[in-house]
Each structure stands twice: as C-alpha cells, then as structure tokens.
Amino acid sequence: MKSISEKSATSRQALALLIPVFKRFRLRLFLGFSALLGVDFLQLIVPKILKKGIDSLADKSANPHTLLLLAALVLGIAACVALLRFVWRILIIGFSRILEKRLRVQLFAHLVRMDRSFYHRWSAGSLMAHAGNDLAAVQMACGMGMVAAADALVMSTASIGFMLAIDARLTVLALLPMPMLALSTWILSKKMHLHFSRVQEQFGRLTEFARNALVSISLVKGYCLEGAQERKFSELGRTYVRNNLRVAILQGLLHPMATLAGNTGMLLVLYFGGKMVIEAGMSLGSFVAFITYLAMLIWPMMAVGWVANLAQRGLTSLRRIATLLAEQPFLEDGINSRIHWDSQAPWIRCDNLSFTYPGSKRPALQGINAAWPTGIYGIAGRSGSGKSTLCRLIVRLYPIDKGMLYLGDSDVNQYLVATVRKQFAYVGEQTALFSDTIYNNISFGLEGSSKQQVEAAAKAAAIHEYIIGLDKGYNAKVGEQGVKLSGGQRQRIALARALLSNRRILIIDNGLSALDVSTEQVVFANIRRQYRDRLVLLVSHRVNLLSRTREIILLDQGKIVAVGDHASMYATGGLYTTMVDKQQDHA
Ligand SMILES: Nc1ncnc2c1ncn2[C@@H]1O[C@H](COP(=O)(O)OP(=O)(O)O)[C@@H](O)[C@H]1O
Ligand SMILES: [Mg+2]
C-alpha cells in the first residue's frame, strides 16, 4: 500500500500551476500592463506641464491663452488616465478572477476525485476554509499585487529619475525618510494580515456556532439551552469585535505613518530646495515639479512593503493548494473495464482478506474467506465487528492488496475503479440525502430515468404511498439533510435510489434498520423479486431478515466465527444463537 505523502509542494511546483494560465492570457496581460504603463507615463507628464506653466508665470511670458491651453492639456490627460485605469482594471483584475476561478475548479475537481482515506486526514470544514482563503490570497497577489508591483517599480524609478535630473543632492535628501516608510508599511501590513486572519477565523467560529445551534435546534430546546447558547454566542461576538478593532488600529496607523514620512521628506525639500531657489537660482517651476514628484513617490514606497506581503502570502497559499493538488487518490486504476460474470461461479470472493485502516494499529478484518454467487446473503455481527468495513472494501472505497478480493473472474485491482463501482448499489445506515426534492433525491445521478421508473422504485421501497400523501408529492423538499423525514423514510428513499439504479449487486449495510417489521417484510420481498438472478449482500441485526437469506457469515472482531444458513447457525448454540435469543426476548 502506498504511504501517505505529507510533503508540501515546493515554490517551483506551486508556481508551475500558474504558468499555463499566464501563457493562455498573455495578450490580455500585455494590454493590461500597457494601459497601466500608459497611466504612469501620463501622470509623470503632469508635473512637467505644471513646471512649464509656473516658469512662464515667473518670467512673465504667460498669458491667459497659454494658461488655458495648459489647463486643457491637464484635463485631457486626466480623462485619458481615467480611461486607461478602467482598461487595466478590467484586464488585469479580471485576469486574476479568471485565474482564481480556474484554480477553484481544478481544486474542486481534484477533491471530489479523492477517496476516503484522504478525507480522514482533511476535514471538509478545514478544506473549505483553506480553499477559500488560499484562493483569495492567490487572486490578490496576481491581481492588485502585480499591479502595485509594476506601478511601484515604474513610478518610483521614473519619479526618482526626474528628481535626479532636477537636482541630485536634493533627491538624496528627499529620499532619506523613504526606506523607513517602506519598512513600516511592511511591518504594519504583516501584522494587519495576521489580525485579519484572526478576524476571519473568528467569523468562521461564529457562523459555525450559529449553524450548529440551528441545525440541532431540537437538542437546544430539549435541554433548555437557549440562554447558555446565547451567552456563548455573545462571547464569540465580543472576540470578533476585539479582533476587528485590532485591524482598525493598524489600518489607522498606516496612513499617519505614510504622511509622516512623506512630510519629513517634504520638510527637507522645502528647506533645502527653498534655499536653492533663493540662493542658487533653481527655477520655481523645477521646485514645484520636484515636490510633485516627491508626493508621487509616497504611494510606491508604501506599495513595496505591501506587495512584499501580498507576494509572500500568495506564494504560501499557492503552495498549500499545490500540496492538495499533488495528493493522489489511494486507489489505483487497473486496466480492465469489463467484468466477466458467470451465473454459476461466485461473483464476489474473499481470499484470506485482511485490512487495517490507515493510521490504525488493529486490523479491522482478518483472514476473511467467503464466496458469494447469486442470491441473498447475510452478514451479521456485533457493532464494530467489521461488517461495514467489509462492505466498503467490496465497493472499493479503500485500497487492498492483490489476491484478496475477486470480482467476477479477476482480482478487483485489475479493474478500473469506476468499472467496479458501477456494479454496485449501496444503501448505508446513515443515508445521504441532498437538500432537494424527493424526486431528485431518488433519481440523483440517474437523470435518464422516467417518472414511471422513479415511482416503481419508490413503490418497491414502500415509500410511494407516503410521498403521494404529501402536499407537493414527489416535489416536496426533504429539507437540510432530510430533517423533514423520519429515519425510516430516509432509508426508504435511499433504498428507492438504489433500486432505481438497478445495479448488478446490491449491498444493504444496515440500511433497513429503521423500518418497522411489516414494512421490512414488504421491502425484503420486493428486493428478492427484483434481484432474483443477482446478488444481494445484507448486513443486518434482524433475525427476521437474516433467516430468509441463503447463507450468513457471522463476524466477530474482524474474523468470521461462523458460516451457514439460519437454522444450522442457530443450532450450534454460539454467538449467533445468543444474538437470536436476545431478540426474541425483546419481541
Ligand atoms: N475510518 C476508520 N478508521 C479507523 N478505524 C475504523 C474506521 N472505521 C471503522 N473502524 C474500526 O474498524 C472496526 C470495524 O468497524 P465497522 O466495520 O464499522 O464495524 P460494524 O459495521 O460491524 O459495526 C471497528 O473497530 C472500528 O472502530
Ligand atoms: Mg456498520
């Protein structure tokens, strides 16, 4: 058996996920970044125009006409900037959304393909939370992150360049406070992210708590827990507010920090630059342009710290996603897609079948030998004896070694997993229903079936009468996880689905446990009729049902302790006899 790989993906593996999407949308990105550069370029011209205007005012060459022309130019530039901003936003941020969507679909497709052992390690809740946050972080890094990085690079290089061209010494002075600005943004945004994820986690707890309380509302009411629940909820809410306040404080700090650093630079320029205008003949226009460029530098300097965080977070998230995507399903496909069935030979055969759950020490099954040709066969045993495990192995929910389990004429490992699964209809004890109509629940995955077929299956499962008695009949909603139905009704709907699918082999793992005795009899007779020439494995505690099967195996602590038909098993006076006698006492 393969060992579980817990290794997380490398940065290179993670980035490899993005490459195809970037390639596919290269034209879009090229146009987007061109628009972005256009905006930067136009913004950088504005101080030049200002300089021209002011200098013309200073040397008295200005007239209303030239001033109006310059003003119109600034206005025209502003309009172009607005248009180009719109364009890059649509193109680049749109790209990041497309990227996010692709990763999400890829992840979902991967997750639904994973088998049970994977879900023993990853809970659905943590997967949902991680996937949501991680995808958002990647989207952010590939959207605003890339924009800010490109913008900061161009704007800072250009502003510094222009400043240098005006006066090198003044530039050095003006830039002195900038590293502090970048560093403080970096630290603050790192802290902010930490607190922001706490906010998200707390919000998750809050909604989970509310969901739990509402789903188990009858429990809450039954034990008069309303007050206690309210207090706990209120406590959770308080923490949520506290966490939010921390984020607000950090956000509040960020802006003053930037202003402080910017103004310190401004102070230096005002003093030393002012002196230059007075003493060294720097033009007033150059002085104003210089200050404008300096103001333009504040955002890119903040962006550096912010982008560093976005990139780091995005990469960490992408690595987590890549790690999930690198997980392989445990079950390996064979190559055979056809099963040869012989009505005389066993359809399922266990040959010294043993199994231990991943991560568990004690084997759940040990040395099982059994052969089931057509007919109805029983599997009995106390709770925890391994009955469900045996069923799960048969329907290929867990991988098993070669030479232990045969289907038709070959080892199950030789078939495609899907080929094997398509042979089985499985009714478990806990029935999975969707929050949908009864009709859709019965025909789930069998959309090709007709109304008559659906109703026939419901009749066979002895649930048709109940359904047509409902106001909306087959169109009635079953509610969240079937809460509007009794346990027995849910089981019968699940059984109807199984009978409608009409697979070659039917496995009922305690799936009739919530039915009353007379309904159970009716349903059993219907199953026997429908499966006359096929195979049914019936896990049950009920003597009534077991006694009608062709042969029973009795499991205890993962081993077969007795085999035979009901009468002969009962005659031996062992565990089976005790089990039967106990039930008859209760009856
Ligand atoms: N997913 C699992 N991981 C580890 N052990 C399990 C798992 N499921 C069941 N087991 C263990 O395997 C044994 C058999 O369980 P199961 O087949 O469900 O019994 P039964 O259906 O007869 O009540 C029990 O000891 C149970 O604790
Ligand atoms: Mg069980």
pLDDT at 3 over 50: no
pLDDT at 491 over 80: yes
Q: Distance, CA 487 to ligand 1 centroid (Å)?
A: 22
Beta strands 375-381 and 405-407, pairing class: unpaired
DSSP string, 278-290: III---HHHHHHH
User: In testing the pocket of ligand 1, which one of 357, 397, 513 has its CB within 8 Å of the most ligand atoms?
Assistant: 357
Q: Which fold has domain 426-502?
A: Rossmann fold (3.40.50)
Q: Which atom of ligand 1 is nearest to the CA of 555?
A: 22
Q: At what angle do helices 94-113 and 26-58 cross, to 10 degrees?
A: 150
pLDDT in tens, 505-552: 999 999 888 888 899 999 999 999 999 999 999 999 999 899 999 999
The residue whose CA is least distant from atom 6 of ligand 1 is 357
- Give the per-residue pLDDT at 87: 96
Q: Which of 40-54, 154-168, 532-546 has the lowest mean pLDDT?
A: 40-54
User: In testing the pocket of ligand 1, which one of 366, 383, 389 has its CB within 8 Å of the most ligand atoms?
Assistant: 389
User: In testing the pocket of ligand 1, which one of 120, 330, 388 has its CB within 8 Å of the most ligand atoms?
Assistant: 388
pLDDT at 481 over 60: no
Report the pocket of ligand 1 as residue ranges, CB < 6 Å: 120, 357, 360, 364, 381, 383-389
Nearest to 229 by CA among 216, 244, 245, 248: 216
The residue whose CA is least distant from atom 21 of ligand 1 is 388
- Average pLDDT over every residue of 473-485: 77
Q: Distance, CA 409 to ligand 1 centroid (Å)?
A: 28
Query: Which amino acid, residue 193?
Result: H
- Average pLDDT over every residue of 455-481: 89
- The beta-carbon contacts of 419-424 under 8 Å, at least 24 apart in sequence, are 419/336, 419/337, 419/338, 419/339, 420/339, 420/395, 420/396, 421/395, 421/396, 422/503, 423/339, 423/503, 423/504, 423/505, 424/394, 424/395, 424/503, 424/504, 424/505, 424/506, 424/507
Query: Which amino acid, residue 420?
Result: V
Q: Which atom of ligand 1 is nearest to the CA of 116?
A: 1
- Average pLDDT over every residue of 197-217: 84
Nearest to 266 by CA among 307, 294, 233: 294
Average pLDDT, the chain: 89
- Ligand lying nearest the CA atom of residue 385: 1
pLDDT at 5 over 50: no
Q: Distance, CA 388 to ligand 1 centroid (Å)?
A: 7
Q: Distance, CA 387 to ligand 2 centroid (Å)?
A: 6
Can you say whether residue 359 is alpha, beta or left, with left for phi > 0 and alpha for psi between -120 and 50 degrees? left
Neighbours of 468 (CB within 10 A): 11
Q: Distance, CA 369 to ligand 2 centroid (Å)?
A: 19
- Give the per-residue pLDDT at 80: 95
Neighbours of 559 (CB within 10 A): 16
Q: Which of 158-162, 430-434, 532-536 has the lowest mean pLDDT?
A: 430-434
Q: Which atom of ligand 1 is nearest to the CA of 360?
A: 4
The residue whose CA is least distant from atom 20 of ligand 1 is 384
Whether 289 contacts 50, CB under 8 Å: yes
- Ligand lying nearest the CA atom of residue 381: 1
pLDDT at 362 over 90: yes
Q: Which two tokens stand for residue 112?
A: 């639904």
Neighbours of 20 (CB within 10 A): 10
- Average pLDDT over every residue of 419-433: 88
Q: Look-up: residue for tokens 């232990």?
A: 404
- Give the per-residue pLDDT at 185: 84
The residue whose CA is least distant from atom 2 of ligand 1 is 357
Nearest to 307 by CA among 197, 199, 185: 185
Q: Distance, CA 582 to ligand 2 centroid (Å)?
A: 20
In angstroms, rounded to a whole number, what is the distance separating the alpha carbons of residues 314 and 136?
A: 9
Q: Which of 1-10, 108-117, 373-382 has the lowest mean pLDDT?
A: 1-10
- Give the per-residue pLDDT at 462: 95
- Give the per-residue pLDDT at 402: 92
Q: Which atom of ligand 1 is nearest to the CA of 382?
A: 22
The residue whose CA is least distant from atom 26 of ligand 1 is 384
The residue whose CA is least distant from atom 12 of ligand 1 is 364
Q: Where in the chain are the domains?
A: 11-326, 426-502
The pTM of the full predicted model, rounded to 2 decimals, is: 0.69
- Average pLDDT over every residue of 36-61: 86
Beta strands 535-539 and 375-381, pairing class: parallel
- Ligand lying nearest the CA atom of residue 430: 2
pLDDT at 587 over 70: no
Nearest to 541 by CA among 571, 578, 572: 578
The residue whose CA is least distant from atom 9 of ligand 1 is 389
Sheet holding 365-372, edge to edge: 365-372, 348-355, 405-407, 410-411
Whether 327 contacts 119, CB under 8 Å: no
- CA quadruple 365, 368, 374, 375: dihedral, nearest 10: -70
- Give the per-residue pLDDT at 2: 32
- Average pLDDT over every residue of 564-575: 91
The residue whose CA is least distant from atom 16 of ligand 1 is 386
- Give the per-residue pLDDT at 429: 81
In angstroms, rounded to a whole number, what is the distance separating the alpha carbons of residues 155 and 133?
A: 31
pLDDT at 4 over 80: no
- Ligand lying nearest the CA atom of residue 361: 1
Q: Distance, CA 559 to ligand 1 centroid (Å)?
A: 13
Whether 456 contacts 446, CB under 8 Å: no
pLDDT in tens, 435-465: 889 999 999 888 889 999 999 999 999 999 9
Whether 543 contacts 515, CB under 8 Å: no
Q: Distance, CA 386 to ligand 1 centroid (Å)?
A: 6
- Give the per-residue pLDDT at 496: 95
Q: Which two tokens stand for residue 301?
A: 């300097």
pLDDT in tens, 238-287: 999 999 899 889 888 887 887 888 788 888 888 988 888 888 778 888 88
Can you say whether residue 383 is alpha, beta or left, with left for phi > 0 and alpha for psi between -120 and 50 degrees? beta
- Share of the chain residues as helix, strand and coil, in percent rounded to the nearest 5: 65, 10, 25
**Partners of 406 in the beta sheet?**
349, 411
Whether 377 contacts 536, CB under 8 Å: yes
Q: Which atom of ligand 1 is nearest to the CA of 120?
A: 1
Say yes or no: domain 11-326 is CATH 1.20.1560.10: yes
